[in-house]
Amino acid sequence: MSTDTSTNIQNKEFETESGVLATIKELRHSGTAIGGLLIVSLLLVMAIVSTVDIILLDNAIIKSLFGDPHEMNSLQIYAPPSMEHPMGTDQYGRDVLGRIIYGSRVALAIGIIAVGIGFFGGVTLGAFAAYKGGYVDDIIMRALETLYSIPGLVLAMTMMAILGPSIYNLFFAYGIIGIPAYARVIRSEVLSIREEEYIDAAKAAGLSNSKILFREIIPNGLSAVLVQATLSMGSVIIGAAALSFLGFGVQPPTASWGRMLNTAQSALLIAPWVAIFPGLMIFITVMGFNMLGDGLRDAMDPRTSLRSPKMESLEEYADRVDDPTKADPAGSDEWLAGTAVSGKDARKDATDGGERR
Amino acid sequence: MSIYRYSARRILQIIPVLLGVFSLTFVMVHALPGNPVRIYLGLNPSQSLEQELLAEYGFNQPLWKQYLDYLWRLLHGNIGESFVRKEPVSDLLMSRLGPTVTLMGLSYAIALPSALLLGVYAAATHNELGDHVSRFFGLAGLSTPNFWLGLMLIFIMAYLFDVLPASGYVPFTEDPVASIKHLILPVITLATAQTATLMRMTRSSMVEELSKDYVQTARAYGLPERRILLKHAFRNALLPLVTIIGLQLSFLLDGSVVIEQIFAIPGMGRLGYNGLLQQDYGVIIGLNIFFAILFLVGVLITDLAYAYIDPRIRYN
């Protein structure tokens, strides 16, 4: 063990280790993040399978399992949950479970695409504004503040009224609305990173401005925005569902959870199952993303360690030391990456110390 | 820079943003397909009547002229006229202000204290059972769509147990008991997400404060834990929270739109919703501007309050 430690360290790329990999390694110790990841992956599988089912297989999978989500049955209107329809049927006698499964495509697509638009738009604009400074910064940030000062849902509703209610416009509307928040975060990140010594070093080494911005500054500021993206995924899904609920979003017959709740409202008394299950799915989905985002933030925050609370017991230690086969080089690497060697940690610690004084 | 100069500069900065909000909403409403006269007159309107109404309200003028006219009226404090209701938007907003402000105010009055209490409790039991439970409920509250929560509350409290009215609004001055009964469900619906957000903020802020050196010192001096928590850490932990409170206004306004729709409360959100369906240009523009003013002033006040509370903050 002791002999190969030095080669181990030499082979290490500290920059990558301290950033992405260390975060992933730290995530393994967070129950919240694992739970969230499980929920999100399950939904992702559901969404992918139903998309394949719709496009390639002509609803064959869902038909064999639960019945066609688009098939109407006038004899089965508002049928309560039963063996045949585990979540009951809606006002056209369509199977609620099948529609919920298909609805996962819509929810995840909106979450991922809208957040993607907001993320890239916001990062580009915010980083550009911060790096340019001066009046460019002023104009961009003032324009984004305009977007930011109208409450999101009201703005989205107005945009949807213009563009017409459809899922593609929903992507667009929520993408645009997300831009200011990301721009703000990346802007403040860039402003603080710009003052770092390694940027001076890069300048001294003769790197071009764009290279410094895209290769040095943005990658280092990205982690903060990434956490925000994961956490805002949930609010985008809720917001889009709210729009569909109000009638401005996804239109029938496409199965979407928000739209299902819209029709469920009028039949709440006679068929509560039509309202309960779609909302529950929104809740579970958003919970999954929020858990993942929470875990991610904790893992990226160098001040909190997720694995410290559990200390190695004395027997375990004795076991490990006595038995060389149990020594786990990967485990010790992990320790290295997570704590002392990581450059970013050192930087953050230093700034913390500065604040305290 | 003195606080006066700072506030003056901040107020001046609001003006271009408001101009932006106006321009954006103006462009957006005129990009709407059709016009309010068409919707107002319904199917098969008489041509002459349509032309007459368009001319009367200036909708047939070139867009740049309509824009400048509107801007001119804005500068005189008139945020617009409702075409459908034939009333100034400001009058409409004032008549709808009561329900919305009551709803938002009560929600906040419930959310803030409970969030502070829960947040401090969670931070005090950091990494213990109490913390995990309150963290879970914090996340759950954040993840619950308010419109679904509203429907479920109506289903349980109004339909299953029949203890509270399902929807509607009664002004407090008319019938206090009925008013409160009607408000309970909407207020709970709106307050849930607020409580969750604020509680999470309080918790993380408190956890950070409690890890600082001065807390260790206080402990070393043998101060009772309760005193450290409430007297020392809590005061400092409150600071970052103050800035959030202004930003929360945006979510409250959003929430009120949805909740007024579910519970049939005649507030500003419902006004805007109907205005959008009827393409009532004045209402849409006026409401957007009004919401933006509310939000910007809210943020400004919290920023100034921040400076007042924390004398360490300097503006430059």
Percentage of residues of chain A with pLDDT beyond 70: 73
Percentage of residues of chain A with pLDDT beyond 90: 12
> At residue A340, what are phi and psi to the nearest 5 degrees?
-65, -40
| Structure tokens, B19 | 């101009």
A157 and B273 within 8 Å at the Cβ level: the answer is yes
pLDDT for B14 equals 87
Tens-digit pLDDT profile for residues A227-270: 788 888 888 999 999 998 988 888 777 778 888 888 888 888 88
pLDDT for B131 equals 85
Residues of A within 8 A of B213 (CB-CB) are: 356
SS3 label, residue B82:
strand
Cβ of residue B162 closer than 8 Å to a chain A Cβ: no
Number of C-beta neighbours around residue A332 at 10 A: 13
**CB contact at 8 A, A165 and A250:** yes
Q: How far apart are CA A262 and CA B151, in angstroms?
A: 10
Average pLDDT, whole number, for chain B?
84
pLDDT for A349 equals 35
pLDDT for A28 equals 76
Residue of B nearest to A271 (CA): B155
pLDDT for A303 equals 57
Say if residue A199's pLDDT is above 90. no
Cβ of residue A34 closer than 8 Å to a chain B Cβ: no
pTM: 0.81
Tens-digit pLDDT profile for residues A169-183: 889 999 999 999 899
**CB contact at 8 A, B272 and B283:** yes
Residues of A within 8 A of B21 (CB-CB) are: 146, 149-150
Least confident of A186-200, A302-316, B29-43: A302-316
Q: If pLDDT is split at 50, 70 and 90, which confidence band does A329 have? A: very low
Cβ of residue B137 closer than 8 Å to a chain A Cβ: no
Cβ of residue A281 closer than 8 Å to a chain B Cβ: no
B288 and A158 within 8 Å at the Cβ level: the answer is yes
Strands B87-88, B81-82: pairing kind:
antiparallel
Taking each helix axis from N to C end, the angle separating A31-55 and A96-132, rounded to the nearest 10 degrees, works out to 110
Q: Which amino acid is at A168?
A: Y
Cβ of residue B296 closer than 8 Å to a chain A Cβ: yes
Say if residue A111's pLDDT is above 60. yes
Residue of B nearest to A309 (CA): B127
Say if residue A131's pLDDT is above 50. yes
Q: How far apart are CA B35 and CA B255, in angstroms?
A: 28
Residue of B nearest to A141 (CA): B17
pLDDT for A318 equals 63
Say if residue A167's pLDDT is above 90. no
Tens-digit pLDDT profile for residues A7-23: 444 444 444 445 566 67
pLDDT for A326 equals 46
A23 burial level (CB within 10 Å; 0-12, 13-18, 19+): buried
> What would the mean pLDDT of A32-43 be, rounded to a whole number?
89
> What would the mean pLDDT of A69-76 be, rounded to a whole number?
70
Residue of A nearest to B261 (CA): A246
Cβ of residue A294 closer than 8 Å to a chain B Cβ: yes
Chain B, window 3-22: residues with a beta carbon less than 8 angstroms from a chain A beta carbon: 13, 16-17, 20-21
Q: Which of A29, A147, A153 to mutate to test the interface with B (most CBs of B within 10 A)?
A: A153
pLDDT for B128 equals 83
**CB contact at 8 A, B147 and B234:** no
> What would the mean pLDDT of A277-290 be, rounded to a whole number?
92
pLDDT for B190 equals 92
pLDDT for A286 equals 93
Least confident of A154-168, A342-356, B233-247, B264-278: A342-356
Q: If pLDDT is split at 50, 70 and 90, which confidence band does A334 have? A: very low
pLDDT for A335 equals 38
Q: If pLDDT is split at 50, 70 and 90, which confidence band does A3 have? A: very low
Which residues, given as ranges, of chain B have pLDDT below 70?
1, 34, 42-45, 313-316
